[in-house]
Amino acid sequence: MGNRVESIRDKRKIATIKNMLKGSNKTRDYILFSLGINLGLRIGDLLKIQVKDLFDVDDNIRETFEIVEEKTKKRNVVLINENTKEALKYLIENEPTVLNNRNNHIIYNTRNKYESITRIQAYKLTRSWCDKVGLEEIAIGCHTLRKTWGYQAHKEGISIEVIQEKYKHSSTSTTRHYLGIEQKDVNEAYKKVNL
């Protein structure tokens, strides 16, 4: 694809997608979207998460989990934030059989919970959700969910250095480029800082 993949910048669109997926009883899709935008992981790392990663032996949601990133081979400790916990509670309420096997994938194939969906399926789902809420004009890809976390973290005032550390980027300039920080973002900063 010639276009650079973008984040979902409008929080109202994020809420609309979450409500749409919950309203249509698309539990797996809701989990994919919620965990994708809240954990900020690459799609390959997101899709390999299993029940045992997020739930302890008593089926309680963990506070953190650890992965070794597929691309970088770096260790990453991920905090499970409140919205992720709410999504996991929703999963338990609507698809309790996912917990029957600790090796089941959290982003499961609906025909076999032991398997995850593919990257292509994740892309097609993300593209369809964005289209349904009027985001046809942005370049959607598998990194859209990961980039949404970073962009929204930046908008909340989280420093580029912290986001860089989370993404394991080698420089802040890589992180700025990855987030797609544009002139309109700089202009917004000028509007907010009136000294």
Question: Which residues face 109 on adjacent strands?
Answer: 112
Would residue 42 show up in a list of annotated catalytic residues for this protein? yes
28, 30, 42, 113: the catalytic one is: 42
State whether residue 165 is helix, strand or coil.
helix
pLDDT in tens, 4-25: 899 999 999 999 999 999 999 8
pLDDT in tens, 34-81: 999 999 999 999 999 999 999 999 999 999 999 999 988 888 999 999
Would residue 167 show up in a list of annotated catalytic residues for this protein? no
Predicted pLDDT of residue 72: 87
Domains of the chain and any CATH numbers: 7-188 (1.10.443.10)
Would residue 146 show up in a list of annotated catalytic residues for this protein? yes
How many residues are there in the chain? Answer: 195
Token pair belonging to 47: 């899709």
Predicted pLDDT of residue 2: 41
Would residue 176 show up in a list of annotated catalytic residues for this protein? no
pLDDT in tens, 141-173: 989 999 999 999 999 999 999 999 999 888 988
Indicate whether this model's pTM tops 0.85. yes
